[in-house]
Amino acid sequence: MIPNSLISFNTEKLHCEEIDFLVVGGGIAGMAVSLELKNFNTVLLYKNGISETCTYNAQGGIACAVSDWDSPEKHKEDTMATGSGIANPAAVEILVREGIDRIKDLVSMGIVFDGDKSGYHFTREGGHTCKRILHIEGDSTGRKIAEFMYKKVASERKIRILHSHFLVDFISQENRITGALVYNENEMKFLIFRAKAFILASGGAGNIFQETTNPSGITGDGIAAAYRCGAVLEDLEFYQFHPTTFYQAGAPRFLISESVRGEGGILKNLNGERFMLDYHPAGELAPRDIVTRAIIDQMKITGANCVYLDLQGIKDNIRRRFPTIYNFCRRYGIDPNKQLIPVRPAAHYFMGGVKTDLWGKTNIENLYACGEVACTGVHGANRLASNSLLEGLVFGWRVGKKCIEVSGTKLPRLKMKNIFPRKADILIDKEDLKRSIRSLMWRNVGIERDESHLRIAEDKLIDWTKYAFLKEFSDRTWFETLNMLIVAILITKAASARKESRGTHFRKDYPEEDNKNWKKHITISRNGMDI
């Protein structure tokens, strides 16, 4: 059903570059890896540019227990509680303790977090029991960290940054990666990289859903490529939907940071009624899955297509504290100082991904993963707000340290491959297929799920594979579409298998958490599913 390679190719006829390390993806995780490997011949691939990474677009901040009133133990407790019983305690322990050192590293390099002479300014977000979110220039944390780290990476003589380069496939032999097939979009040609280790830091897959906060290029490419070469994937049923994205006809689904609610923003329904306290004692700062489902419930009750954020309680502080959000709303005719902001949920973050150990190693030799593309189990069934940037820093650093250990090894011998082209005489509208995947996943495998809709989705997705893989195109749109189709199938299968509700995975036909039978993980590989 799903081939081992997206396209046909002959390794003997392609240009091959020999390097020490190949890093795929340049968000915070990929750049953290690259900086650790700065003394080696390292190539960092961007499908697009730095501004098209989720790191760049992260608004809220970065969670870390560095205040006098906080501690790693408290941060761990909040992370474990939000993970709904299946977060990996060892991974969480690493996150909250090593995260403090990684924040100190950033500060020593020159990053300046918001604060004054008395210390840093912290905010609070959903699931946190105290204020521990660091931020930069209000809601510009991700952008400022991304720009800062990019300059550091670009200044390193041995690191080469390549833009508009797309990972098509890994070349493997006997459970070992020997090369990577990459498409140079600028020159419209393919090349192969041989390396001592290959690091995936390519992000999640938000664009398999119609509504998402992710940039348009986040299409699950690394996850799909890892699956095709035999990697084990884990926790694919757990996709986090952010409760509050800007909702207005014709406007992009712009993230309205959870920090807005942390500073005092109130959610109201169509009738102007505050509703979150009816769903959780923490109100607007309940874990994201609870807030998301509460919003969906209120939309159903009132017959509306959105709810509203009321910022009147913080109107004197909006423009200074949230300049990016303020300016965006004004561009679309809404003054947050005077008007309610229309919001609704959208796909935001993938807890599942390529299964790794605590050092980013996968079950495939020479293949590592970190950041959102990876699954260490640190998030369990639901991610604690603002733990994502911290995860990228911590586990990106660990992957870099682990890869240094293999820097003295010889390059693995490249497996020669000659895969013959698929030439079905059919017409395929690539953009239409991509839109259909996104629409189907949003309707059937989105915030609320049930057996009948999941079965319909899986049947349709599998039907589409019967012709989608018969014909071959050599362009990015087609690669993305096929990767989206693969990831969509795998998510749907995992969601169908988990017959309970846990964290972000909500089944209307199994609405309760079942710790007796389902306090465990689901893994998927080319060998099948393991529960």
CATH 3.90.700.10 residue ranges of the chain are 245-345
Q: What angle do CA 326, 389, 158 make, to 5 degrees?
A: 115
Place of tokens 């013959």: 420
Asked whether 96 and 79 are in contact (CB, 8 A), the reply is yes
Q: Where are the alpha helices (DSSP H) in 278-420?
A: 288-302, 318-321, 323-331, 388-404
pTM (2 d.p.): 0.95
Residues with active-site annotation = 288
Interval 115-138: pLDDT, tens: 988 899 999 998 999 999 999 998
Let me know if 456 is exposed, middle or buried by CB neighbors in 10 A (0-12, 13-18, 19+). Answer: middle
d(CA 334, CA 77): 38
Res 416: pLDDT: 67
CATH architecture of 423-526: Up-down Bundle (1.20)
Place of tokens 């990474």: 53
CATH 1.20.58.100 residue ranges of the chain are 423-526
Rg (CA), the chain: 22
Res 420: pLDDT: 62
d(CA 365, CA 362): 7
User: In DSSP terms, which residues pair with 530 in a beta bridge?
Assistant: 523
Asked whether 160 and 40 are in contact (CB, 8 A), the reply is no
Res 417: pLDDT: 67
Asked whether 201 and 23 are in contact (CB, 8 A), the reply is yes
Q: In this structure, what token pair is assigned to residue 20?
A: 């020490």
Q: Strand pairing of 21-24 and 528-530?
A: unpaired
Res 249: pLDDT: 87
User: In DSSP terms, which residues pair with 212 in a beta bridge?
Assistant: 347
d(CA 488, CA 457): 9
3-state SS class at 507: strand
What is the torsional sign of CA 163, 165, 167, 170?
A: negative
| Residue numbers of the chain with a pLDDT score lower than 50 | none
Q: In this structure, what token pair is assigned to residue 243?
A: 């409760």
Residue type, 119: G
CATH number of 245-345: 3.90.700.10
Name the percent of the chain in helix, strand, coil, to the closest 5.
35, 20, 45
Nearest to 388 by CA among 26, 25, 28, 23: 28
Res 474: pLDDT: 84
d(CA 252, CA 245): 9
